[in-house]
Amino acid sequence: MASHRLVLLLPVLVLFTITTGYVMASPPAVKAAYWPSWIQTFPPSAIDTTLFTHIFYAFLLPSNVTFKLEVSESTASLLKNFTSTLHQKNPPVKTLVSIGGGSSDPKLFARMASNEGSRSIFIDSAMEVARTHGFDGLDLDWEFPKNPKEMVDLGQLFEEWRVAIRKEAKSTHRSPLLLTAAVYFSVDFQWDETYRKFPVASIAESLDWVNAMCYEYRGSWDTSATGAHAALYDPNSNISTSYGLASWVRAGVPRNMVVMGLYGKTWQLKDPKVNGIGAPATAVGPGDDGVLIFSQVEKFNKENSATVVYDAKTVSTYSYAGTSWIGYDDSRSTTVKLEFAQALGLRGYFFWALSYDSEWEISKQGKPVSGHELQLPFRE
């Protein structure tokens, strides 16, 4: 019997990397993914490294007092095992340690980035951790600077970080560490009546690429109606991946520096007879804050003989059975989104998160196929 709830699939993020101001040649394509370190049932040895060029370790946090990365003895062992295992399985794969995450305190990063001294401590600590444990790069996931001043501080942090990376590489005769960042789906936005815009010039000059988090457009914070949580298109608003990516490019970020993301949330249908996108809902569904992994969605569909619908208007998939409604990305919607990225001349993609696609059904969609009509946000 179907549960009287509605569910959306976990995030699958698609990343596009950048041509930075200091790199002349086009960088190689990126096929990346994040590995959630807290999932004990999915160790690094379970990762199919042949599907990816870059894999992120999620997450480390800086100390609230010293701003140095906090690495316990057990975490140090996990970090070392992560890099050694992946490099042994597939030597060319690059590993990056991601700092922050959605559950981290943005005020901590704001205090760290507010002055040169604390920025320097943070930068030096991050680089030391990366080198000590065999990582190829670093990723910052500060969600999000809350005002224009914090955006300026973020830009200053990136610029000083790049200088430190170049200096360290020159003095040690090693390849420079990669430097990336997770950013909002749009280059500018307004929250709590405060307008803010990412420091585009600093990003283009200092980072190797950005991960624009093109997901959570709808979610458990609004249970009034179902929604395409990672819509490529939205005919009724600017809250869509196509709009967000276009905003980054129009702001001056090179096209091979933009990221597209897919993510899922859950609700409970109010009326099983009204079951499309935008249908009235009353609550979140099962999972962690209304989240299911792809294999769980497939299991739900099979066990409940659910009706599966591909929505071409938003480029998303949903299924329903009774009052249970699940919105997610499957191989079809993922393929269309990758085609969209390819058509815009973007560099690649990444998935959040590895443990959510343990059978690799979605991750294997890395090579887009033709045959879909795409609505590009702008033409050449």
Cα-based distances in Å from 63 to 67, 112, 121, 164: 5, 10, 11, 20
Instruction: Decide if 143 is catalytic.
Output: yes
Instruction: Give the Cα separation of 249 and 175 in Å (integer).
Output: 29
Gyration radius from the chain CA atoms: 20
Instruction: Give the Cα separation of 154 and 146 in Å (integer).
Output: 11
Measured in degrees and rounded to the nearest 5, phi and psi for residue 13 equal -100, 145
Sign of CA dihedral 21, 27, 360, 244: positive
CB of 207 within 8 A of CB of 226? no
CB-based contacts of 334: which residues, under 8 Å, 6+ apart? 12, 14, 262, 362, 365
For 187, which DSSP code?
S
Token pair in block for residue 273: 């007879």
Active-site entry in 70, 73, 143, 160: 143
Q: Which residues are catalytic?
A: 143
